[in-house]
Amino acid sequence: MHRQKVSRRNSAKTTKRFPKMPLLMITQEKKTSINDLNRASIKHKIALALMFSGKIFLNASLKHSIAYHSQHLPLREEFRENF
């Protein structure tokens, strides 16, 4: 029983730390989400979300990797410039 309570508390913390991005901020289409980067790892998805929300700046190698994985997304111009 205790374990369930702990995991619930942790998930709430995680949600605060990585808030869901409003999709239209990132892409031109409502349907598109960070999860569409299905070839990218979780690390890349989180880094991408954080970069889009202005929380972190990425090093060149991670930036290159994310740019590769997000080629097929209809990213808005202001986010294209980040790569």
Domain range for 66: 22-80
In a domain, 50, yes or no: yes
In a domain, 42, yes or no: yes
Q: What is the mean pLDDT of residues 69-81?
A: 60
Q: What pTM did the predictor assign?
A: 0.25
Residue 44 scores a pLDDT above 60: yes
Please give the tally of structural domains in the chain.
1
Q: What is the mean pLDDT of residues 31-60?
A: 58
Residue 65 scores a pLDDT above 60: yes
By residue count, the chain amounts to 83
- Tens of pLDDT along 1-29? 555 555 555 555 544 544 454 444 444 45
User: What is the Cα–Cα distance from 46 to 79, expressed in whole angstroms?
Assistant: 15
In a domain, 12, yes or no: no
Q: In the prediction, which pLDDT does 15 show?
A: 47
